[in-house]
Chain A
Amino acid sequence: MATAVADRLQASFSQPVRLAVGGVGAVLVLSGCLLPWATFFFGFPGKVTLAGFPGGSRLYPLLLAAVAPLLAVSVEGRRRAGLAAAWGIVGITAFNIAAIGFGRSLPLGLLEERGGGGLGAVAIGAWLTLAGGALLVAAFASLRADDERPFHPRLPAPLELLAIAFSLGLILFAVVIALEVDETSRFISLVAFITVASMALARLGVFTYVTDLFDRHRTVTLAAAAVAAVVFPFTQGGNAYWIRVFASIGVFAAAAIGLNVVVGLAGLLDLGYIAFFGVGAYVGALFAGAARTTVHVKLPFLVVVVMGAVIAGLFGVIIGAPTLRLRGDYLAIVTLGFGEIFRILAFNFDWLTRGPNGISGVPDLAIGGYNFGATNEVLGFSLPGFANYYFVELILLAVVILAFTRLNDSRIGRAWIAIREDETAAAAMGINTYRLKMLAFGIGAFMAGAAGTVNSHVTTQVSPDSYGFLESILLLAAVVLGGMGTIGGALLGSAALFIVPEKLRSFQDKRLLLFGIALIVIIRFRPEGIVANRRRQAELHDGDPSSGDASGAPPGAAVVGAVSR
């Protein structure tokens, strides 16, 4: 409906009228965000009763109003970008009006901790912002879509490097800010803001530009990303909480990249993948000298990591040998069964796994007499002990990422992709499909095993329930949500999997419901995942002029086809 209204407005105003409407809208939003949004204080987060500064969720409409100047400059994609931002202002404001007025009675116990008082509690600032947002929608909707010139900034090399540093700094800054947002209503507003802001930037071609930039300066980007990742613990002021969460994200991301080899590259749907992670975790816990264990042998950490990875890899091959003769749905069902078998064995092999009690009291790592649990002082910054594990994760993740990228672009990787694309044709081209599928299974399991051993130290205990069907599905969902076959997708998906539930504490038991809804929305509107595989992106904009008259399927169908495969 919203798009229908917007379409009717297309090319309806003259430029002066449009500028006037948009200008008034922008002024309304700016002033509305500086005025109070609630008439009296009742504990609604973000000091929304105070005037003169954009506290709480008021910040987001204010930032989104920055698209207004696009009305005056002709740039490709500005209509769609402006509409995204303007609808974002309307949406975020409307949500906050609802939260301030009726927070307690919203469905699903959305904001059970606060809100109430009816519309009388909503102050003038919120209404002004809403009105301003609507005017901006109208102004952008009145633009003609084809009245735009492409925008290809070309900067000298030093400035490009600066742009990379700036982009990564912005990401780190956004992460740090986002982690400090504690209240549910503010977090939802923030997620909405990030979504529409990214949509606006993507439609203006900024993302394409930045990715291209990252591509052309790979080494610099990688180095800068590494620096940003290393700097993160120093931004936490000695607080271990988020460092701990990020360490978990790192472990899961490493496992997700392993799963990406199996699902994303070779196209084998594995629904029991978490079992390999579990094998690694058990090996890690058993040989680490845990307090309550059945194996009273303590081996050096590096040996245990390799051992966990190798044993998990062997399990992968053992499970793969009979199952990989199957294809598609049958393979998925059988792997699901094997995943359950692992969990049930872990429950019942008391002599090894201590059954449902699990292995607990896994000690802190100690390499060469250095205890990883200790707090450190580095350059005047206090680093909690957990930062050590965070750095171990970083190293693990770096190794896994390097392995994935190198395999992806190699003879083996091409064979995997060929098998995913058309197994029969791959066999006819001389590829031993069975052996290569087994290899993919084994390598995926190997990576999961390595991640699992490290994770046993992060969680300090290992029990069968952590490696059930649900965990396999969540990991798979993280890969699909983030973008199949990409590193960024696995990272982002794992991060979403961990951060969002942490933030939406008041949702607790509805967490999976939300995750499910998010998954449906993503698959419907962006089937290639948040971070698209270049292969799939190339399908969408294949700029080869000589193939312009190709009789191939339309791009939309191509994406759906690629994902449903």
Chain B
Amino acid sequence: MSVSVSTDAAPPVLEARGVTKVFGGLTAVDGVDLEVGEREIVGLIGPNGAGKTTFFNCLTGMETPTSGRISYRGRALSAKPHRVTESGLARTFQNIRLFPNMTALENVLVGRHCRTSQGVLSALGRGPRYKREEAEGRARALELLEFVGMARHAETLARNLPYGDQRRLEIARALATDPGLLLLDEPTAGMNPQETASAMQLVRRIREQGLAIVVIEHDMRFIFSLCDRVAVLVQGQKLVEGTASEVQQDPRVVEAYLGKPADDG
């Protein structure tokens, strides 16, 4: 993964302006702005139904925003998921969406799809270029499995992997698309404390590789010890954005999660 050194003039990795998504009469995402800089880890929190996942879907082209502008490194993003991934955004899913009947290695190889180019004829002909690309793809996929710590499961079908490994495999698959920005949707949901700790380690190591990361999470300890910046989404709108401590101390955030304190006077 090559790292481009950011200068002051360089555009941010992700710039979302006024992203709005309306479903019928429901405004799921309402004019959200978000900026992510190089090698930044940004947390996205908020109560259930706040529109966090819908916001992710808008970023990745899985939903077309009703209005708003999204650009990646200064270039506007297409509304087609595969084009967004080609541009350099990769994501994982809240409810794991691996290819269950493919092996772990094959899952990661699918992630290489948009960075390789061998078509039908070269697959039929199996010339030297096909073989070279296939071998390189395999090597890269194994490297990524190693990176997330599951090289020994390369030949296991995704469906037979333990839950935590499935989450890690999803990350490896996303990394295989050579992204500049990784969007993680609740990466530690359902994990025990040890697994959460190792997931945190993994996210840090991904950042060290030069990636920027946006993460949706309900585990506050995870968010506040990992993120450079945290944005709080409530009912589709961005309520607060700031450093971990700023957000933690903001009374509006507490109120959004727990409701108004009863008048104890």
Q: Which residues of A contact B (CB under 8 A)?
A: 402-403, 406-407, 410-415, 417-418, 421-422, 424-433, 439, 443, 535-536, 538-539, 542, 544, 546-547, 549-553, 558, 561-562
Are A549's CB and B110's CB within 8 A?
A: no
Q: How far is the CA of A443 from the CA of B152 in the complex (A)?
A: 36
- Answer whether A425 and B98 are a contact pair too, CB < 8 Å, given A411-B113, A412-B119, A430-B113: yes
Are A425's CB and B159's CB within 8 A?
A: no
Set of chain A residues within 8 Å of B173, measured between Cβ atoms? 429
Are A539's CB and B114's CB within 8 A?
A: no
- Answer whether A430 and B114 are a contact pair too, CB < 8 Å, given A406-B126, A417-B102: yes
Cβ proximity bits B84-123 to A, threshold 8 Å, 1 near / 0 not = 0110001101000111111000100111111110111001
Interface assignment of B143: CB less than 8 Å from any CB of chain A: no
Q: How far is the CA of A439 from the CA of B97 in the complex (A)?
A: 24
Are B111's CB and A430's CB within 8 A?
A: yes
Are B124's CB and A431's CB within 8 A?
A: no
Cβ proximity bits B26-39 to A, threshold 8 Å, 1 near / 0 not = 00000000000000
Q: How far is the CA of A558 from the CA of B101 in the complex (A)?
A: 9
Are A406's CB and B98's CB within 8 A?
A: no
Interface assignment of B60: CB less than 8 Å from any CB of chain A: yes
Are B120's CB and A547's CB within 8 A?
A: no
- Answer whether A428 and B155 are a contact pair too, CB < 8 Å, given A421-B101, A439-B120: no
Set of chain A residues within 8 Å of B177, measured between Cβ atoms? 429-430
Q: How far is the CA of A386 from the CA of B124 in the complex (A)?
A: 31
Nearest chain A CB to B192 CB, angstrom units: 12
Nearest chain A CB to B132 CB, angstrom units: 13
Task: Please report which residues of chain B, range 18-32, place their CB below 8 angstroms from some CB of chain A when the two chains form the complex.
Answer: none
Nearest chain A CB to B57 CB, angstrom units: 10
The residue of chain B having its C-beta at the shortest distance from the C-beta of A415 within the complex is B113
Interface assignment of B206: CB less than 8 Å from any CB of chain A: no
Contact of A544 among B62, B99, B153 (CB under 8 A): B153
9 more CB-based (< 8 A) A-B contacts, given A429-B174, A552-B161: A418-B110, A418-B113, A428-B90, A429-B114, A430-B115, A544-B153, A544-B160, A550-B160, A550-B161
Nearest chain A CB to B157 CB, angstrom units: 6
Q: How far is the CA of A535 from the CA of B159 in the complex (A)?
A: 11
Are A427's CB and B81's CB within 8 A?
A: yes
Contact of B155 among A425, A544, A550 (CB under 8 A): A544
Set of chain A residues within 8 Å of B205, measured between Cβ atoms? none
Are B116's CB and A411's CB within 8 A?
A: yes
Set of chain A residues within 8 Å of B90, measured between Cβ atoms? 428-429
Are B123's CB and A431's CB within 8 A?
A: no
Q: How far is the CA of A132 from the CA of B29 in the complex (A)?
A: 76
Set of chain A residues within 8 Å of B106, measured between Cβ atoms? 414, 417
Are B160's CB and A431's CB within 8 A?
A: no
Are A539's CB and B110's CB within 8 A?
A: no
Nearest chain B CB to A430 CB, angstrom units: 3
Set of chain B residues within 8 Å of A425, measured between Cβ atoms? 93, 97-99
Number of A-B residue pairs at CB separation under 8 A: 132
Set of chain A residues within 8 Å of B82, measured between Cβ atoms? 427, 430-433
Nearest chain B CB to A531 CB, angstrom units: 17
Are B162's CB and A550's CB within 8 A?
A: yes
The 4 closest A-B pairs by CB, nearest first: A430-B114, A410-B123, A430-B85, A421-B99
Set of chain B residues within 8 Å of A439, measured between Cβ atoms? 120
Contact of A536 among B101, B113, B130, B156 (CB under 8 A): B101
Q: How far is the CA of A551 from the CA of B161 in the complex (A)?
A: 8
Nearest chain B CB to A561 CB, angstrom units: 8
Set of chain B residues within 8 Å of A418, measured between Cβ atoms? 99, 102, 110, 113
Contact of A547 among B115, B116, B160 (CB under 8 A): B160
The residue of chain B having its C-beta at the shortest distance from the C-beta of A551 within the complex is B163
Are B156's CB and A542's CB within 8 A?
A: yes
Set of chain B residues within 8 Å of A535, measured between Cβ atoms? 101-102, 157
Interface assignment of B134: CB less than 8 Å from any CB of chain A: yes
Q: How far is the CA of A192 from the CA of B242 in the complex (A)?
A: 74
Are A539's CB and B120's CB within 8 A?
A: no
The residue of chain A having its C-beta at the shortest distance from the C-beta of B152 within the complex is A546
Are B157's CB and A539's CB within 8 A?
A: yes
Are B111's CB and A429's CB within 8 A?
A: yes
Set of chain B residues within 8 Å of A407, measured between Cβ atoms? 120, 123-124
Are B101's CB and A539's CB within 8 A?
A: yes
Set of chain B residues within 8 Å of A402, measured between Cβ atoms? 124
The residue of chain B having its C-beta at the shortest distance from the C-beta of A408 within the complex is B123
The residue of chain B having its C-beta at the shortest distance from the C-beta of A539 within the complex is B157
- Answer whether A549 and B162 are a contact pair too, CB < 8 Å, given A422-B99, A429-B85: yes
Pairs A–B under 8 Å by Cβ, sample size 23 = A406-B123, A411-B113, A412-B120, A414-B102, A418-B99, A418-B113, A422-B98, A424-B62, A426-B99, A429-B177, A430-B114, A430-B115, A431-B82, A433-B82, A535-B101, A536-B101, A547-B153, A547-B156, A547-B161, A550-B160, A552-B159, A553-B159, A558-B159
Q: How far is the CA of A406 from the CA of B100 in the complex (A)?
A: 22
Scoring B116, B160, B161 by chain A CB atoms within 10 A of each residue's CB, the highest score goes to: B160
The residue of chain B having its C-beta at the shortest distance from the C-beta of A565 within the complex is B101
Scoring A411, A426, A428 by chain B CB atoms within 10 A of each residue's CB, the highest score goes to: A428
Task: Please report which residues of chain B, range 49-90, place their CB below 8 angstroms from some CB of chain A when the two chains form the complex.
Answer: 60, 62, 80-82, 85-86, 90
